[in-house]
Structure 1
């Protein structure tokens, strides 16, 4: 259940700290009802201009607080970055939020815009993006077959967990993530598809750390097979080097 006393506290904080704000949103775990005792308040604030954009952290009334202070231009930039990377951190913070303040209608507009992006999902993988993911997993599987010491087996298994989950999600036109955000995206995918990839992949990665790399290798191969199979011979990626600045 959402703690509305906490919502009121967050609303009072942003109004006091940013008297000229255009909009503010409370997002993250307190809104998704997944907060833990150490979770912070994720507050995105839209200002007309400077001192935005910036990010800061502090403790307020005993709660850790993270501020993501934006202008219209910076918010547009970070949302475009989320769309391009398929990691919807900024988009989720606003799309799945409680609007704390909205002086000019931008709070509701941005919330609807981000929610539409979340519901539509990311763009399909291009062929080069798909090939790079297939190559990465193929290479890790080769490394795993040759690894003999436990630490390397565990680390390669973790890499296979992350790379295989990324291919599964991005290849299925779903959002991806890193760290705990990856677990969240796998949970959402399983809920939508009736699968159990989260439990299977995490369990297999744990097995790799305890000396059994077989389960993570098998799952990685299954995911590879869904998206064209292994790729090593013939793989080629063009380098893009920006012009020198001197």
Structure 2
């Protein structure tokens, strides 16, 4: 079965908005297609602002040859999501709004975009001392598991845990937003391209050859400015 030929992304997105949300106050096209990073499986991320809705929601469609994810907000509900994203340090919606290209605007987008840009520039709130200690302990514990295990299957998933934890630790301790999935590497590259390359190399080496030294080295590197590995004396909830 042949795949439907795709319409160019901005035209497909505009047609979608006109058909499904003709009365909305504003709409944006965001995601990989506007950054020139789209692939054959990329979708269209569309953010809608509609004063008539009461509860924000998200849904998926396939239109004009494109899978589409649409994020629908009222003119106030987005603020709750901005706050939630800031608290988890993953600014998904603010990034989409800040980067998004305008598909429709009745005059409300400049304020919303300015809020998104301001939030992104501000960065996430710094960790408390207790949180920092807990994250050091968790990294130390996972690293110990990787060093000690002789089970190759277990080591694969310990390494996965370490990859996400290392990326979180180095970014949060430097006041940066974190990512998930493909955004782990993207977030690291935005902060420090050299570190991101060494991070990827360490994990590639492990997954290809089983060599754990690169992961051990990079874990110790990110922990060193904060006192190194932490096990003895760690306490929580006492």
Fold match (TM-score > 0.5): yes
Please, which moves more after superposition, 157-166 or 120-129?
A: 120-129
Q: Does 1:230 align with 2:229?
A: yes
Give the secondary structure class of the aligned counterpart of 2:70.
Answer: strand
Within 5 Å, give how 1:36-51 maps onto structure 2. 36-50=39-53
CA-atom RMSD, angstroms? Answer: 2.0
Among candidates 166, 170, 173, match of residue 171 of structure 1:
173
Counterpart Cα distance in 1 of 2:100 and 2:237:
40
Counterpart Cα distance in 1 of 2:132 and 2:64:
47
Q: CA deviation at 1:52?
A: 4.2
Q: How many residues in Structure 1 have an aligned counterpart in Structure 2? A: 232
Counterpart Cα distance in 2 of 1:102 and 1:234:
56
Within 5 Å, give how 1:203-218 maps onto structure 2. 203-209=201-207, 210-218=209-217
Q: CA deviation at 1:215?
A: 0.7
Q: CA deviation at 1:61?
A: 0.5
| TM-score (normalizing by structure 2) | 0.90
Among candidates 73, 88, 92, match of residue 85 of structure 1:
88
Counterpart Cα distance in 1 of 2:157 and 2:214:
14
1:28·1:93 contact (CA, 8 Å) conserved in 2?
A: yes
Q: CA deviation at 1:74?
A: 2.6
1:132 maps to which residue? 134
| TM-score (normalizing by structure 1) | 0.88
Within 5 Å, give how 1:44-123 maps onto structure 2. 44-50=47-53, 52-103=55-106, 105-123=107-125
The CA deviation string for residues 22-47 of structure 1, in whole angstroms up to 9 with x for no partner, is 21111110112111111000001011
The CA deviation string for residues 98-130 of structure 1, in whole angstroms up to 9 with x for no partner, is 121112x22121112111221222222221221
2:95·2:120 contact (CA, 8 Å) conserved in 1?
A: yes
Counterpart Cα distance in 1 of 2:130 and 2:104:
42
2:54·2:74 contact (CA, 8 Å) conserved in 1?
A: no
Counterpart Cα distance in 2 of 1:111 and 1:43:
14
1:18 maps to which residue? 21
Among candidates 10, 16, 41, match of residue 7 of structure 1:
10
Counterpart Cα distance in 2 of 1:212 and 1:144:
11
Q: CA deviation at 1:212?
A: 0.8
Q: CA deviation at 1:5?
A: 4.5
Counterpart Cα distance in 1 of 2:70 and 2:178:
23
Q: CA deviation at 1:167?
A: 0.5
